Structures are given as C-alpha cells and as structure tokens.
Amino acid sequence: MKTPLREIGRVDHQPQDKIIDAMEGVNFDYNYSGQRVGANGQIELSVTTVITDWDKNIYYRTSRYLGHYQDWKNCIRTQLWNHLIDLGVGIMLVRVKLEDFEVDKSNYSPQEK
C-alpha cells in the first residue's frame, strides 16, 4: 500500500506573522534532502522553503514528511504554496509566482552521515 507523504514535523522562523505589502516584492527558494526508510518505496523527506520580502526580511519553514516517494515533487510545491499563503501573500500573486515553478534536483542537499 502506498502511504501518501504526510507532515510529521515543522519549524517556522519568521520575523513577523505576515509579509506587509507583498506586492512590493517577494522571492522564494527551497532545498530538500531525503532518504529511504523501510521497504516499499517509503522515504523521509526534509524540505526547507525560504521566502524573502521586499524589505529583506527572511521567513523560513522546515518540514519533515514520511510516506511513499511517488509525490515528492508535489509535496515540495505544496509546502511552498502553503508557506506563501500562511505569510499573507495574496492567492493571485502566489499563482503567478508558482505558475512556471518546477522542482529541480539541483536544490537537493545530501544528508550528512
């Protein structure tokens, strides 16, 4: 059975609850790492999204997920979407920002052993 990736932990760091006037400018970045656990395609995925507003405030969210690897790219995209929405960025701006977004393997960070 394929267990969907589910969040098992989260840490947020933000200088304020919401981004003030996101229309002035918002940038984002992300990185991730993961490893296989157990059998049947199960992974533990760690995703960090970093949002920078026009005033150079930095907001980051690190979450850990556990489940089947099949939707790992969608999991990263969803975290980025939710992080922007949680910071008060308007839905239309989020849609525009993420319109052509694709998860890239160059943002993979190998885990230390």
Look-up of token digits 């919401």: 18
pLDDT number for residue 90: 95
* Cβ contacts of 48 within 8 Å, gap of 6 or more: 30, 31, 32, 60, 61, 62
* 3-class secondary structure, 91: helix
pLDDT number for residue 112: 64
The segments of the chain whose pLDDT lies below 70 read 1, 112-113
pLDDT number for residue 15: 93
**Residue extents of the structural domains in the chain:** 6-98
pTM above 0.85, yes or no: yes
pLDDT number for residue 74: 96
Between helix 72-86 and helix 91-98 the angle, nearest 10°, is 140
